[in-house]
Amino acid sequence: MSRAKPSAIMAVAEKAKALKAAGRDIVSFSIGVPNFLPGEHVYAAAREALTRDSGQYGSNRGPDALLDAFIKHLEDGGLKGYGRKNIATGIGAKHMLYSLAEALLDPGDTIAFPVPYWTTYVDIADIVGAQKRLLPCPASQNYKLTPDQLDAALPGVKVFLFNNPSNPTGMVYGKDEIAALADVLVKHPDVWIVCDDIYNRMVFDGVGYHNFVNARPELRERTIQVDSLSKTYGMPGWRVGFIAGPESVAQAMVTLNSNHITNVPEVVNAAAVAALSGPQTITERKCAEFQAKRDEVLAAVLSIPGVVCPRPQGAFYVFPDISVAFGKSHCGVKIGNDVELCNALLEVKGVACVPGSAFGDPNALRISYTCPTEQLADGLKRFVEFFAELT
């Protein structure tokens, strides 16, 4: 436990909350939660489930209706050919990722993943006692892993963890990029591939969502897809996650469930079935809205001289390289690094962003743009002002 740290993202969110409670006008670009609720059909399904509640333990894998709804969801997203035995459910993608680490990694085994990474990857690896092999993907390479880099990194690796679209960068790998990485993965047959693709329904500019399994079908036998209701349906607090993968791995998840959680609650399962198989209009509308907000955020950050930002094409994050500000001062306060910059930005301008070092890249910061549209322009104005006032 001494290796695991509390979430840096939550720390910023807490500080912003405290300032707000003290009467400050705060715009939060910090926490990565969607600002929408699921449709009424989801609540109706949950209410209906309450009326027939058995009060009993449920299936460790998940009820058939949920497995089938998720299989259909995968198919709609282009991932065909999974059966119930390939699926397991759990308490959010976070839980599934943790269980996968427990199932696939022994202490001392190596897990490789690109940097910037989602913060929790580091903690999960540390908690299970795995060695981390970090693959740096700075802004200068568009925050994307190259095939050569992957090829050089994989010898001796037990698990390769990939996240597309990316939190924190919002980058999305195109079809050719995925195919080139898949070709490399084929050359390393001892590596398990975990794809945390929970933002797969939040992709812009018509790039589409692509994956290794479709690029090279032979990878299916050692690739595990991780998905979740949180971002797609505005249901982070409902806590439902899934994996689709080889039967042996899905069975391992079921065995872990039987020891950790037993089952996802029955009422939540019913709501999840409704979300997955009901109308997808809210998700589609939100995706279009996020794309428009991405344009707004990107235009603002790129208007700042010296700030570099590869164009994100998914999720709801922008990850500008703001290192141009280091060594400057704001109202007499020296800005030495990303943490000092985020602190000053929050204290002086009331804008909360997460320092890039939380994601392994101290040259950047993360803007999560799920706040209400009317707050976005105000927050961006203050953000740009802050940089203009640096001396």
Which residues form the interface with ligand PMP (CB under 6 A)? Answer: 32, 92-94, 118, 163, 167, 196, 198, 228, 230, 236, 241
Beta bridge partners of 227: 242
Looking at the Cβ atoms of 249 and 354, the one nearer to ligand PMP is 354
Say if residues 322 and 340 touch (Cβ distance below 8 Å).
no
CB-closest chain residue to ligand PMP: 92
For residue 209, the minimal CB distance to ligand PMP (Å) is 14
- Break the chain down into helix, strand, coil percent, rounded to 5: 45, 15, 40
Looking at the Cβ atoms of 323 and 370, the one nearer to ligand PMP is 370
For residue 236, the minimal CB distance to ligand PMP (Å) is 5
For residue 198, the minimal CB distance to ligand PMP (Å) is 5
For residue 239, the minimal CB distance to ligand PMP (Å) is 7
* Token representation of residue 85: 């035995």
Residue at 283: amino acid letter: T
* Distance between start and end Cα atoms, the chain: 42
Looking at the Cβ atoms of 359 and 383, the one nearer to ligand PMP is 359
For residue 237, the minimal CB distance to ligand PMP (Å) is 9
d(CA 14, CA 28): 11
Looking at the Cβ atoms of 17 and 381, the one nearer to ligand PMP is 17
Looking at the Cβ atoms of 316 and 386, the one nearer to ligand PMP is 316
Looking at the Cβ atoms of 119 and 277, the one nearer to ligand PMP is 119
For residue 223, the minimal CB distance to ligand PMP (Å) is 16
Strands (E), the chain: 27-28, 87-90, 110-115, 131-136, 159-163, 192-196, 223-228, 241-244, 317-318, 328-330, 333-335, 351-352, 354-355, 365-368
Query: Could you tell me which of 194, 267, 243, 297 has the C-alpha nearest to residue 90?
Result: 243
